Structures are given as structure tokens and as C-alpha cells.
Amino acid sequence: MSDPQIRVMLVDDQELIRTGFRLVLLGEPGIEVVAEASEGEAALAELDRLAELDRLAGSGPGSGSRPGCDVVLMDVRMPGVNGIDATARIVREHPDVRVLVLTTFDLDEYATGAIQAGASGFLLKDARPTELVDAIRRVAAGDAAMAPSVTKRLIERIRDGEGLSAGAPDPGPERDDALDVLTERELEVLRLIAEGRNNSEISGELFLSESTVKTHVGRVLSKLGLRDRVHAVIFAKQHGL
């Protein structure tokens, strides 16, 4: 039995940009563009419409099915409701939908704003088609995807104690009680995630198979109530790990 289609919505105020993304994804197996929108409010309306169609077809949330859309490719700067505000509302109103933010501007405030809003990834629009497709697949699978240039700067900011906002409290160097739900192995995995390691690197560091690492990562995220690895890095810093 083949894997289900990853259902994608394109949100950008420029029709030419949406057309370009749609053409890139058209030939990709396992990915389907199911909707488009030109700003955040319209995107939320489309998500409501797709969810209602699934419900009427007998495949809505009550039947345990996937949402009408799996991944939203979200622009940042749009008229009406911008991408950051729309992301926050999608995360709140459609928690099973993942948001991958794409922007022309390599600015830290956009990246941090997207993460704080609950986005699962942040890419620049000049990313190669293969990078975009890989990011969509990773985000749909519950992982995170970040532009390399942004990832390095964010990790450095968190390590330096700057955090994602100037007003973020500093819990100090002591380990927080919130981490007590993790086993020692899961704690090791979280530490390595916080250092920016991927599953392959964690596998080599801990002498585990990648499938075992993936299982541990999933348990860490589940136990701590985190959406993805990006939020795991933030959590680790905020809790003194």
C-alpha cells in the first residue's frame, strides 16, 4: 500500500509565485496541491472549506482521518492578514496542519516570528526545488525544516543566551523539573537536538540506529508536548539544558 498524498496549500499574494511553486510540485510523486490563497484570511477560509469537505465525505476528524490539508506554504509579507499572524491562527485552529514559511527576505525577525507563531519550518524562496520538496516531506512527517543560513544564527543566539525575544526569562543553568518526564537516553537525544544535530549525527554519537533515534525523537516531542525539533531547541534552552 502506497503512502498517502501530502496535501499542500500555497499562500502568496503573487500569482506568479504560486504558479511557480505549483509547477515545481506538479511532477512530485506523493504531493498534491489542493488549494491556493492570496493572503492569510483567505487561507484560513480554505482550510475550513477543506476540513468541511472531508467531514461531509465521512473522513473528518471524527473518523480519525488526516486533515484536508497537511502542509501550508506560507508567504510572510501579504496584504490583509500577514503570514506570521495567519500561521499563529492555523496552529491554534487547525493543529494537525503544518506550516512551512517561505520568504524572499533572509531576516532573523521573520524566522523567529514564524517559529514563535508555531511554524514547522522556514525557507527562502530562492531555495532549490529539491530543497523545497524535501522540506515539505520533512514537515509533513512531523520534522522541522530550516534554511541553513537561518538555522546557524538561531542556534547561536539561543546558545549565547539571547533567546528568541528580549523579554524571555533566563531559567539559569540548573536543570528544570519539566525534563524529569524523559529517560536518560531521551535526555541525551534532546541535548543533541539542541546542538543542531540531525538523526544521522545523533545515531553516530550515541551508537544507535537511525530508526531508534527517530523513535526517541518522537517520544521526546510527545512527552514534552512539542511540535517539532525547532521547538525542542527552544524548550531545551528555556529549561536550562
> In 3D, which of 215, 79, 233, 52 has the Cα closest to residue 159?
233
CA 12 to chain centre: 18
Q: Report DSSP state, residue 227.
A: S
Whether 161 is in a domain gets the answer no
Is residue 212 domain-shared with residue 118, that is, in the same domain? no
Distance CA 211, CA 40 (A): 37
E strand or H helix at 61, and its extent? none
**Does residue 174 sit in the same domain as residue 145?**
no
Same domain, 176 and 82: no
Domain of 85 in residue numbering reads as: 6-154
User: Structurally, how many domains does the chain consist of?
Assistant: 2
> What is the reported pLDDT for 41?
93
Do 120 and 178 reside in the same domain of the chain? no
Q: Is residue 159 part of a domain?
A: no
Maximal C-alpha separation, the chain: 52
Listed residue (33, 34, 35, 32) closest to 4, CA to CA: 32
Question: Is pTM, for the whole model, over 0.85?
Answer: no
Backbone angles phi, psi at 147, to 5 degrees: -60, 130
89 and 21 assigned to the same domain: yes
148 and 181 share one domain? no
For residue 113, being part of any structural domain is answered with yes
Same domain, 92 and 115: yes
Note down pLDDT in tens along the chain; length 241 residues: 456 789 999 999 999 999 999 999 988 899 999 999 999 999 999 999 988 887 777 654 554 455 589 999 999 888 888 899 999 999 989 988 999 998 876 665 677 788 888 888 888 888 889 989 999 998 888 877 877 666 666 656 555 555 554 333 343 444 456 788 888 888 899 988 888 788 888 888 888 888 888 888 888 888 888 877 777 877 887 777 7
Q: Estimate the crossing angle of helix 40-56 against helix 83-93, to 10 degrees.
A: 30
Nearest to 193 by CA among 217, 175, 173, 177: 217
CATH number at residue 187: 1.10.10.10
Given this model, what pLDDT does residue 44 score? 94
Residue 142 lies in a domain: yes
